[in-house]
Amino acid sequence: MVKLNNVFICFLGMDDFKSVVVQLIVDGKAEEALVLLAKRYNVNTPKLKVGLPKGHKNVAYGCYTSKTETISVLNSDLLNNPLIILHEFYHHLRSRNVDKIHKGTEKNANKFALDFIKT
């Protein structure tokens, strides 16, 4: 059971969970979606910010920085793009908590995000 905005949400299964997460992101509530994801996968909730770190501005729509546990997006329009938010959350999920080594691949991050979106 997860509490969101003072309401307890019970999920019947993973498909329901995925649908809620995607809908939250599309509705402009990416931070709430990240809280649910973090609770579901038992990890810290990543920070979310608009603006990419130096060196990423011309090559990506989103970026995950494991040192600060931050998902960055190129601009505010991308905050409601579930593909980008979920792709970067996958990198957060796969970064080791102790040494913050990135363990995910782009292909697997895309598969993770698309699996949520397909439901």
Residue spans of the domains in the chain: they are 2-117
Residue 113 confidence (pLDDT): 97
* Burial group, residue 72, by CB count within 10 angstroms (0-12, 13-18, 19+): buried
Higher per-residue confidence, 57 vs 109: 109
51-93, pLDDT tens digit by residue? 998 876 677 899 999 999 999 999 999 999 999 999 999 999 9
Higher per-residue confidence, 60 vs 115: 115
Instruction: Say how far apart CA 50 and CA 5 lie, in whole Å.
Output: 23
User: Largest alpha-carbon pair distance within the chain?
Assistant: 42
15-65, pLDDT tens digit by residue? 899 999 999 999 999 999 999 999 999 999 999 999 998 876 677 899 999
Residue 99 confidence (pLDDT): 60
Higher per-residue confidence, 19 vs 3: 19
Residue 10 confidence (pLDDT): 58
Residue 103 confidence (pLDDT): 61
User: For residue 7, is pLDDT > 90?
Assistant: no
Instruction: Say how far apart CA 92 and CA 101 lie, in whole Å.
Output: 10
- CA distances 3 to 21, 27, 83, Å, are 14, 18, 24
Residue 60 confidence (pLDDT): 87
Q: Which CATH class is domain 2-117?
A: alpha beta
